[in-house]
């Protein structure tokens, strides 16, 4: 095989699939050069720490520092604030490369950091405090995280029931409980979302806040999971008063932040992380299948037709997922002048990224499924040796399952896609605001007269409590 077709892995060609299977036409020459640098960092630093982190649970601080030295922690930060101003295609490539050649846990750390950065850059134009933080992310290795989940609402992370914020003389009093937060206790800053000050029951009325470690009760060391051992996810509690300039975008801007900043980049990176995991599984499967021989037949495992069929099916599915993800990222770039965040200063209501929401959701479903299927099939290819730790495929399989479960889970995401496709965008009903009339009328039809009378009494009491008007007994008429 010509060496030009392979990435370099230390002093030797990379052991996995070669560059014939890379959609490099999506990348610029600068992005391809950056990928080569990142692969070298993965070989020297990130992959060795992946093995250590999996066995000990140690947070991969050295890997995070290596990313900062490469100036990719600030990848989406605009160049005027000292960042790379990277495109969505570039972010997809970086996330996929970290997961494939380096460490899936580190890829998830990078993902949750980067979506938090997106939440900042979305409204950085008029906030000097945010601009200062963004300018120091790489030079001071200021890894951040998004703390959005809620213990009461599961995978519906956009629905924060156990949170609140209020205006106080010193700024904002923020209260928040988060079920799982990546880099818990290790992040240098946290982006979180609560219901807005003056909240009146509408859960789409959300606000975003920036906090620092001394304002967050991060319960470090609670992470004990099947895989992704090194990302140190854990519960977070916030009950802090913070300065006025730490609200990001103003009261009520949270839903816009979700739609235009957090979610679009998150789904790009979901795809990158788990397509990278899928490719890592195929790389390990190839390495074993081409090197392991059966002496009785004089054939390698790769020589068997069953291996070739399994490998071919997995690769075709993974490539389809990758091409979907890169196509989606490229369209995001086309609608945002190469992934720029500068437009929001002139037009805060611009929503070019949100216009592709329905296309973002399948990217996560496809990648998470590809990662699980590929890792499971490649474990079968590797047989008993793969079941042990020596080949790394069992670690990749355990890490792969996280993609299916991470919020929104594949089941929740498929329901969102299906409901949107069948009934339109409004039917998705993110904050449970629309009455399901067919279900309501069906249930009402099951009530007998006494049941209907009891329900009517409760509804009239609710109305009275809302408007303060007296309610006549149900058996009283106007003539009485």
Comparing 3 with 393, the larger pLDDT belongs to 393
Query: Distances in Å between the alpha carbon of 418 and those of 288, 428, 438?
Result: 39, 9, 18
Same-domain pairing of 127 and 157: no
CB neighbours of residue 139 within 10 Å? 13
CATH number for the domain that contains residue 205: 2.40.110.10
Give me Rg for the CA atoms of the chain.
Answer: 25
Residue 172 confidence class, pLDDT cut points 50, 70, 90? very high
Residue 158 confidence class, pLDDT cut points 50, 70, 90? confident
Count Cα neighbours of 41 within 13 Å in the Cβ-side half-sphere: 23
Same-domain pairing of 101 and 162: no
Give me the pLDDT at residue 297, please: 87
Give me the pLDDT at residue 477, please: 46
Domain extent at residue 479: 444-480
Q: Which residues pair with 207 in a beta bridge?
A: 194
Give me the pLDDT at residue 478, please: 45
Task: Note the pLDDT tens digit of each residue in 318-357.
Answer: 999 999 999 999 999 999 999 999 999 999 999 999 999 9
Answer whether residue 2 shows pLDDT above 60. Answer: no
Which pTM does this prediction carry?
0.94
Q: What is the rounded average pLDDT of the residues 442-467? A: 93
| Total domains present in the chain | 3
Q: Are 411 and 368 in contact (CB under 8 A)?
A: no
Residue 309 token pair: 């069929």
Same-domain pairing of 270 and 362: yes
Would you give the DSSP letter of residue 20? G
E runs forming strands in 169-269: 171-181, 189-195, 206-211, 217-218, 234-242
User: Is 255 within the bounds of a domain?
Assistant: no
Place of tokens 């039809």: 445
Residue 473 confidence class, pLDDT cut points 50, 70, 90? low
Q: What is the rounded average pLDDT of the residues 259-283? A: 98
The sign of the torsion formed by the CA atoms of 363, 369, 372, 378 equals negative
CB neighbours of residue 21 within 10 Å? 15
Same-domain pairing of 211 and 350: no
User: Is 230 within the bounds of a domain?
Assistant: yes
CATH number for the domain that contains residue 394: 1.20.140.10
Query: Distances in Å between the alpha carbon of 40 and those of 12, 47, 64, 97?
Result: 12, 10, 15, 11
Q: Are 162 and 150 in contact (CB under 8 A)?
A: yes
User: Is 259 within the bounds of a domain?
Assistant: no
Answer whether residue 387 shows pLDDT above 50. Answer: yes
Give me the pLDDT at residue 471, please: 55
User: Is 433 within the bounds of a domain?
Assistant: no
Task: Note the pLDDT tens digit of each residue in 365-381.
Answer: 999 999 999 999 999 99
Grouping H, G, I as helix, E, B as strand and the rest as coil, residue 276 is helix
Same-domain pairing of 401 and 454: no
CB neighbours of residue 287 within 10 Å? 19
Give me the pLDDT at residue 274, please: 98
Task: Note the pLDDT tens digit of each residue in 194-206.
Answer: 999 999 999 999 9
User: Is 107 within the bounds of a domain?
Assistant: yes
Same-domain pairing of 282 and 305: yes
Instruction: Give CA–CA dist 245/466, Å, rounded.
Output: 36
Instruction: Give CA–CA dist 330/338, Å, rounded.
Output: 8
Task: Note the pLDDT tens digit of each residue in 195-240.
Answer: 999 999 999 999 999 999 999 999 998 999 999 999 999 999 999 9
Residue 410 token pair: 């594949």
Same-domain pairing of 206 and 110: no
């Amino acid at each position: 095989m010509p060496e030009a077709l392979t990435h370099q892995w230390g002093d030797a060609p990379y052991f996995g699939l070669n560059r014939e299977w890379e959609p490099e036409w999506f990348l610029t020459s600068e992005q391809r050069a950056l990928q080569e640098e990142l692969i070298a960092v993965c070989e020297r630093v990130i992959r060795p720490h992946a093995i250590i982190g999996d066995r000990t649970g140690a947070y991969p601080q050295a890997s995070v520092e290596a990313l900062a030295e490469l100036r990719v922690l600030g990848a989406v930060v605009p160049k005027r604030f000292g960042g790379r101003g990277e495109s969505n295609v570039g972010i997809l490539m970086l996330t996929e490369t970290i997961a494939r050649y380096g460490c899936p846990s580190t890829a998830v750390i990078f993902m949750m950091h980067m979506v938090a950065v997106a939440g900042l850059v979305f409204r950085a134009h008029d906030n000097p405090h945010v601009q200062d933080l963004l300018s120091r992310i790489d030079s001071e290795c200021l890894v951040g995280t998004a703390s959005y989940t809620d213990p009461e609402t599961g995978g519906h992370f956009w629905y924060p029931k156990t949170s609140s914020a209020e205006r106080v003389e010193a700024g904002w009093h923020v209260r928040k409980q988060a079920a799982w937060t990546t880099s818990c206790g290790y992040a240098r800053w946290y982006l979180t979302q609560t219901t807005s000050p003056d909240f009146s029951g509408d859960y789409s009325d959300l606000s975003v806040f920036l906090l620092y470690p001394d304002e967050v009760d991060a319960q470090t060391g609670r992470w004990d999971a099947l895989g992704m051992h090194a990302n140190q996810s854990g519960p977070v509690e916030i009950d802090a008063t913070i300065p006025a300039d730490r609200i990001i975008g103003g009261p009520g801007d949270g839903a816009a932040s979700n739609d235009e900043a957090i979610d679009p980049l998150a789904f790009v990176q979901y795809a990158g992380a788990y397509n990278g995991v899928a490719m890592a599984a195929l790389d390990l499967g190839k390495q074993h299948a081409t090197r392991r021989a059966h002496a009785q037949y004089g054939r390698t495992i790769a020589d068997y037709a069953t291996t070739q069929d399994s490998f071919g099916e997995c690769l075709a599915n993974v490539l389809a997922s990758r091409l979907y993800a890169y196509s989606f990222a490229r369209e995001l770039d086309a609608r945002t002048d190469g992934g720029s965040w500068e437009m929001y200063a002139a037009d805060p209501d611009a929503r070019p990224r949100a216009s592709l929401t329905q296309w973002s959701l399948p990217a996560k479903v496809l990648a998470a499924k590809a990662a699980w299927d590929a890792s499971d099939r490649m474990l079968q290819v590797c047989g008993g040796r793969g079941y042990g730790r020596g080949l790394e495929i069992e670690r990749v399989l355990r890490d792969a399952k996280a993609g299916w479960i991470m919020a929104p889970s594949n089941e929740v995401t498929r329901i969102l896609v299906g409901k949107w496709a069948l009934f339109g965008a409004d039917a998705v009903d993110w904050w449970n605001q629309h009455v399901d009339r067919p279900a309501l009328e069906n249930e009402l039809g099951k009530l007998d007269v006494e049941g209907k009378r009891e329900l009517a009494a409760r509804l009239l009491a609710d109305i009275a409590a809302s408007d303060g008007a007296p309610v006549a007994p149900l058996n009283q008429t106007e003539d009485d």
